[in-house]
């Protein structure tokens, strides 16, 4: 029996090789996974042209995945430098990489990333439209937008952000309500500009069926973008954000009718007490499609530390049902991240994802922590480093300040609580003076 997409296969009762790989990674029965995919609650972004892919699942009952944003820009267009970041992200086991290139040799970079990456690859074709067409934004035709989308699909991109939920009516409301940070989505702002300069409706919406044709042909997962995501906690959960989310729920059903996999993008900046309600709204309004969030950043006052404000929000969001976290680096709002920024962002987001998995009861999550706790109780430094999410940093800390006794550290020395209790349990006497 033939199939067009992972969703089509799942609905026909077909177990694909991608489903088998994901089920093995998740320690899940493959038939259970197939059913979740058939219901739209799980996606496996797997473009038919991405030959180096090691498939991952995103959605209900699966480990929370993380995405790393990369790409060249007008001010930072060194392809080799960005490829170094790609290779490091892969080494650090990021499950997804989004190529957000918006200047210069974007296709050359994209093709290299797809060629070498076992991680799933995402993109935002809207970013590439001006460079692809070599024309002013206002003059880009609807057919040219579709050409950019198809080129990304041909090149092997596994999921694409398409801002089809933004409408002219929502744009009018944003202009009227005077949001504090207006539209902070780059793709959303470009579409907003095109719509208003041409006095036309969103071309991603009016051409949505043609976009579905492309996605079905290559099995590209639609990541329905939140053009109206809040860029400040003041704008969170407002009319524009929620109306767009309602629209995305309707577009989800249209995509599913065409066997196109869908996930929904979400905020953004948001006070911590609003996160749980926003997760519930997305799951209700978008029929339990997987939820992909940037952050949420829980305060606006920590530039230089936004990987922390994001991890706080991401951990809570994941614990309440978010399936996919986009990393945020210390450079957010300030510059293109360098390699060290990227590493810090990955680690912070992985911590958030794992904390969420513990709360969700994901298989194997708590066992990892228990193994680390056992190694700590045994003062087994080698095992602690092996189990560490980032083994390099704790080894450096340990090596930089050596204790007198190997079974302690330089904070407590012989007064180490675990060392003391272990000695008592082993029938030894504790002598802090002469030991």
Residues tagged in the binding site annotation for substrate: 69, 98, 127, 163, 185-187, 226-229, 265, 292
Q: Can you spell out the DSSP letters for 69-100?
A: EE---SS---HHHHHHHHHHHHHTT-SEEEE-
**Residues making up the binding site for Zn(2+):** 269, 333
CA–CA distance, 222 with 233 (Å, rounded to integer): 27
Other Cβ atoms closer than 10 A to 350: 22
Residue 5 dihedral angles phi and psi, to the nearest 5°: -140, 170
Are the C-beta atoms of 281 and 254 separated by less than 8 Å? no
Distances from the Cα of 288 to the Cαs of 125, 278, 316, 367, in angstroms?
25, 13, 18, 28
Nearest C-alpha neighbor of 55 from the set 80, 79, 37: 37
Residue 162: strand pairing partners? 224
Other Cβ atoms closer than 10 A to 237: 18
Could you tell me the sign of the dihedral formed by the alpha carbons of 47, 48, 54, 59, in that order?
positive
Are the C-beta atoms of 94 and 67 separated by less than 8 Å? yes
**Residues making up the binding site:** 69, 98, 127, 163, 185-187, 226-229, 265, 269, 292, 333, 409, 412, 416
CA–CA distance, 290 with 167 (Å, rounded to integer): 23
Nearest C-alpha neighbor of 351 from the set 386, 375, 384, 327: 327
CA–CA distance, 353 with 323 (Å, rounded to integer): 9
Nearest C-alpha neighbor of 215 from the set 253, 159, 166: 159
Structure tokens at 421: 């209790």
**Residues making up the binding site for [4Fe-4S] cluster:** 409, 412, 416
Are the C-beta atoms of 88 and 51 separated by less than 8 Å? no
Q: Where are the alpha helices (DSSP H) in 98-141?
A: 106-116, 125-133
CA–CA distance, 338 with 85 (Å, rounded to integer): 8
Structure tokens at 68: 């790393």
């Amino acid at each position: 029996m033939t199939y067009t997409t992972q969703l089509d296969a799942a609905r026909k009762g077909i177990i694909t090789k991608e489903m088998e790989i994901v089920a093995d990674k998740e320690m899940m029965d493959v038939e259970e996974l197939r059913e979740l995919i058939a219901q739209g609650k799980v996606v496996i972004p797997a473009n038919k042209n991405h030959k180096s892919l090691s498939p991952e699942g995103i959605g209900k009952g699966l480990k929370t995945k993380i995405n790393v944003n990369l790409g060249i820009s007008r001010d930072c267009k060194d392809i080799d430098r960005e490829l170094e970041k790609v290779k490091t992200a892969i080494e650090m086991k990021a499950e997804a990489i989004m190529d957000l290139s918006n200047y210069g040799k974007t296709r050359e970079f994209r093709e290299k990333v797809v060629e070498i990456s076992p991680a799933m690859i995402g993109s935002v074709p809207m970013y590439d439209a001006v460079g692809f067409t070599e024309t002013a934004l206002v003059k880009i035709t609807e057919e040219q937008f579709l050409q950019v989308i198809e080129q990304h699909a041909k090149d092997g991109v596994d999921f694409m952000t398409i801002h089809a939920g933004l409408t002219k009516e929502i744009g009018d409301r944003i202009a009227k309500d005077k949001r504090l940070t207006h539209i902070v989505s780059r793709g959303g702002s470009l579409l907003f500009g095109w719509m208003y300069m041409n006095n036309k409706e969103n071309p991603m919406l009016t051409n949505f069926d043609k976009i579905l044709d492309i996605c079905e042909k290559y099995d590209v997962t639609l990541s329905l973008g939140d053009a109206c995501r809040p860029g400040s906690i003041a704008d969170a959960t407002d009319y524009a954000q929620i109306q767009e989310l309602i629209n995305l729920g309707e577009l989800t059903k249209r995509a599913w009718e065409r066997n196109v996999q869908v996930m929904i993008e979400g905020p953004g900046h948001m006070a911590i007490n609003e996160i749980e309600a926003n997760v519930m709204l997305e799951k209700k309004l978008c029929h339990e499609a997987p939820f992909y969030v940037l952050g949420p950043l829980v305060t606006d006052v920590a530039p230089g530390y936004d990987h922390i404000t994001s991890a706080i929000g991401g951990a809570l969001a994941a614990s309440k049902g978010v399936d996919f976290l986009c990393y945020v680096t210390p450079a957010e709002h300030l510059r293109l991240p360098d390699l060290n920024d990227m590493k810090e962002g990955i680690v912070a987001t992985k911590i958030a994802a794992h904390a969420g998995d513990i709360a969700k009861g994901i298989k194997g999550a708590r066992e990892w922590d228990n193994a680390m706790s056992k190694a700590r109780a045994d003062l087994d430094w080698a095992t602690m480093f092996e189990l560490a999410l980032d083994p390099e940093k704790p080894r450096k800390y340990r090596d930089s300040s050596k204790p007198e006794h190997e079974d302690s550290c330089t904070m407590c020395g012989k007064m180490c609580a675990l060392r003391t209790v272990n000695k008592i349990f082993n029938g030894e006497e504790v002598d802090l003076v002469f030991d």
